[in-house]
Amino acid sequence: MCSQNNGRCDKPKERAEKRISKLQGLAKALHCPTRWDIIEIIGTGTAKTKEIKKGMKEKGYDITQSGLYYHLSELREAGIIEVDKFLEEGQGAPEKVWKLSKKKIEIELVVEEE
């Protein structure tokens, strides 16, 4: 729904607020080098959670499983990565295989009027 401004719909303002909110979410997700390294490890293919953890260790990070999942969930919430599939490996929960949702981020500065 549009917000009301003296009885008229203020769509341009709402569109701008939506773009700002999306940009803030991306900035929050990409604010630290740890997440950029996770993106680099996943690369253009896919990577299991175990592979990402191993890659982070090779890059000098001493990251816990819960710490890694925190960073993965922040990247997922921002729409930067997604779960490609689940792998059943023995007992316990299936392992997630991650991939990039997008390889580049574009920011629309001007929107055509509808």
Q: Is residue 12 part of a domain?
A: no
CATH number for the domain that contains residue 61: 1.10.10.10
Say what the pTM is.
0.80
Q: Is residue 79 part of a domain?
A: yes
pLDDT at residue 12 tops 60 = yes
Q: Is residue 48 part of a domain?
A: yes
Local confidence band at 16 (pLDDT 50, 70, 90 cut-offs): confident
Q: Is residue 85 part of a domain?
A: yes
Q: Tell me the pLDDT tens digit for each residue of 65-107.
A: 999 999 999 999 999 999 999 999 788 889 999 999 988 888 7
What 3 state SS string does 14-65 have? HHHHHHHHHHHHHHHHCCCHHHHHHHHHHCCCEEEHHHHHHHHHHCCCCCCH
Q: Is residue 42 part of a domain?
A: yes
Q: Provide the percentage of residues in the chain whose pLDDT is more than 90.
A: 61
Q: Is residue 15 part of a domain?
A: no
The confidence score (pLDDT) of residue 113 equals 63
The confidence score (pLDDT) of residue 1 equals 44
Q: Is residue 78 part of a domain?
A: yes
Local confidence band at 28 (pLDDT 50, 70, 90 cut-offs): very high
Total domains, the chain: 1
Provide the residue range defining the domain that includes 63: 33-102
